[in-house]
């Protein structure tokens, strides 16, 4: 079976505005040009996935069911605005300093670790070496790098913020590209799609 290419997207700060601790529908604001970007990605043939750390669960501010309901709401909103569907929303509810003991673990899924990307690759038969990771934090970039993806840092979120948790973070890793927003990133991905193979 032929492996498919993917674009992994952080949620808060890339698709929607980062409001720090998102727990309610009325806090959701889609970033400018997100709809146009998703249309470009749809044309490119890359399958879009969301991979996000959700510390609101670890802090006891929301349940996993709350996060999944919010993701479904965001999915519907993006579909209405762009006509494009996110293949799957992956999220990590853990944190090494979690308020709730059951989530206080050093997991493999929390970025900067690449667990969510590796899981998606297994479940959807993805070629990670031909895929992209787009995020607004260095943790996104490190996770993408560890998974073997091309990485793009966008400036629509917390791109200048210090890492929330430095555990497992290789700060020497730099993004392959830096873009203003997801739309600019999508044009780079589209250009890669249209580039002739190396000879």
pLDDT digits 0-9 by tens, 42-71: 888 899 999 999 999 999 999 999 999 999
pTM: 0.92
Q: Name the token pair of 108.
A: 């493999």
CATH topology of domain 6-194: Rossmann fold (3.40.50)
Residue 188: both structure tokens together: 């780079």
Give the mean pLDDT of 163-173.
67
Give the pLDDT of residue 39.
Answer: 94
pLDDT for the residue 159? 53
Which pair of structure tokens corresponds to residue 117?
A: 């990307």
Structural domain spans, the chain: 6-194
Q: What is the pLDDT of residue 199?
A: 32
- Give me the active site residues, please: 10, 12
> In this predicted model, what pLDDT tens digit does every residue of 124-156 receive, in sequence order?
999 999 999 999 999 999 999 999 999 999 999
């Amino acid at each position: 079976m032929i492996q498919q290419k993917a674009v992994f997207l952080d949620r808060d700060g890339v698709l929607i505005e980062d409001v720090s601790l998102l727990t309610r529908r009325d806090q959701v604001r889609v970033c400018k040009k997100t709809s146009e970007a998703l249309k470009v990605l749809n044309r490119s043939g890359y399958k879009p996935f969301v991979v996000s750390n959700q510390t609101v669960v670890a802090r006891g501010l929301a349940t996993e069911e709350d996060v999944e309901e919010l993701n479904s709401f965001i999915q519907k909103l993006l579909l209405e605005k762009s006509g494009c569907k996110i293949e799957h929303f992956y999220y990590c509810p853990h944190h090494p300093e979690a308020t709730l003991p059951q989530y206080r673990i050093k997991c493999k899924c929390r970025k900067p670790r690449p667990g969510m990307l590796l899981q998606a690759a297994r479940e959807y038969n993805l070629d990670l070496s031909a895929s992209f990771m787009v995020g607004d934090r260095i943790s996104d970039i490190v996770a993408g790098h560890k998974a073997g993806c091309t990485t793009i840092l966008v400036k629509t979120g917390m791109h200048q913020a210090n890492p929330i948790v430095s555990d497992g973070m290789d700060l020497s890793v730099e993004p392959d590209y830096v873009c203003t927003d997801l739309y600019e990133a999508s044009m780079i991905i589209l250009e890669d799609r249209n580039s002739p193979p190396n000879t």
